[in-house]
């Protein structure tokens, strides 16, 4: 408050200004960051956008540092590492930070990275970490071949089927299998006729055997359950 123009009785102003200090008693806002899930994509990058929110608007500028760290997703292959500072001008209550996820065609497990907040200015941390999940969107196909074998006269003959994965996978792949009774025309080993038979008769007297084998291009373990 400023005084001026004092009049009467020989009064002079010796200190014309009085200041009042207003103490802000509002609690500091808290900061939280939410988890995010994105599909990986196959080419370029996919933005993984994290939202960082204040519990309330503030009259002060608020800032917080952030950094990405590897979890099952590993930079630089799976995502682009990020470090920086988010600044909230007075009155602003939410900001975003974006992590670039690298697209590829590799079959991977779902993976995740971590974003960590630190060193809040004029605020406190509600939670300090968020998970960024990268969902696998890549597929491989499995095929099993037809085969022809000669029955033999004694004992058993193995019918060896090959199960092939279309491309190498970076995670284990497994499949169930089971034999089913069908029929075969006497005296033929034609796999086509065997496969196209329209009048299957169950072969009750002879158990069938099936063995799976992994292809050289597959890192997947072959299934070992017996049918």
Other Cβ atoms closer than 10 A to 117: 22
- The Cα 26–Cα 36 span in angstroms is 31
- The Cα 83–Cα 69 span in angstroms is 10
By CB under 5 A, the count of residues binding Ca ion is 8
- The Cα 81–Cα 70 span in angstroms is 9
Find the part of the chain contacting Ca ion (CB under 5 A) among 30-38, 135-143, 175-183, 202-210: 135-143
> DSSP label at 103?
P
Contact 88, 131 (CB under 8 A): no
The answer to whether 113 contacts Ca ion (rule: CB under 5 A) is no
Contacts to Ca ion from residues 68-87, by CB under 5 A: 78
The answer to whether 101 contacts Ca ion (rule: CB under 5 A) is no
Q: Residue 164: CB partners within 8 Å, gap ≥ 6?
A: 142, 143, 144, 145, 215, 217, 218
Find the part of the chain contacting Ca ion (CB under 5 A) among 45-53, 91-99, 105-113, 145-153: 105-113
Closest contact distance (angstroms) between CB of 68 and Ca ion is: 14
Q: Which one of 137, 168, 177, 227 is in contact with Ca ion (CB under 5 A)?
A: 137
Find the part of the chain contacting Ca ion (CB under 5 A) among 12-20, 24-32, 137-145, 182-190: 137-145
The answer to whether 126 contacts Ca ion (rule: CB under 5 A) is no
Residues that bind Ca ion (CB under 5 A): 40, 42, 78, 104, 106, 108, 137-138
């Amino acid at each position: 408050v400023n005084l001026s123009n004092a009049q009467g009785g020989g009064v002079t102003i010796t200190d014309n200004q009085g200041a009042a200090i207003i103490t802000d008693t509002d609690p500091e806002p808290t900061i939280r960051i939410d988890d995010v899930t994105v599909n990986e994509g196959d080419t370029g990058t996919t933005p993984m956008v994290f939202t960082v929110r204040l519990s309330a608007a503030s009259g002060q500028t608020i800032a917080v540092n952030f950094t990405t760290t590897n979890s099952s997703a590993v930079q630089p292959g799976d995502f682009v590492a990020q470090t920086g500072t988010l600044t909230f001008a007075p009155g602003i209550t939410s900001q975003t930070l974006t992590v670039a996820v690298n697209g590829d065609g590799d079959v991977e497990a779902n993976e995740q990275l971590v974003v960590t907040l630190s060193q809040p200015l004029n605020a406190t941390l509600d939670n300090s970490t968020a998970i960024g999940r990268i969902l696998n969107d890549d597929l491989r196909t499995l095929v099993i071949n037809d085969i022809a074998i000669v029955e033999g006269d004694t004992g058993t003959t193995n019918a060896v089927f090959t199960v092939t994965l279309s491309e190498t996978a970076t995670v284990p792949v497994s499949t169930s299998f089971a034999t089913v009774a069908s029929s075969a025309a006497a005296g033929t080993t034609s796999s086509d006729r065997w496969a196209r038979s329209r009048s299957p008769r169950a072969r009750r007297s002879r158990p069938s055997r099936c063995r799976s084998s992994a292809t050289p291009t597959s890192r997947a373990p072959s299934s070992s359950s017996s049918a």
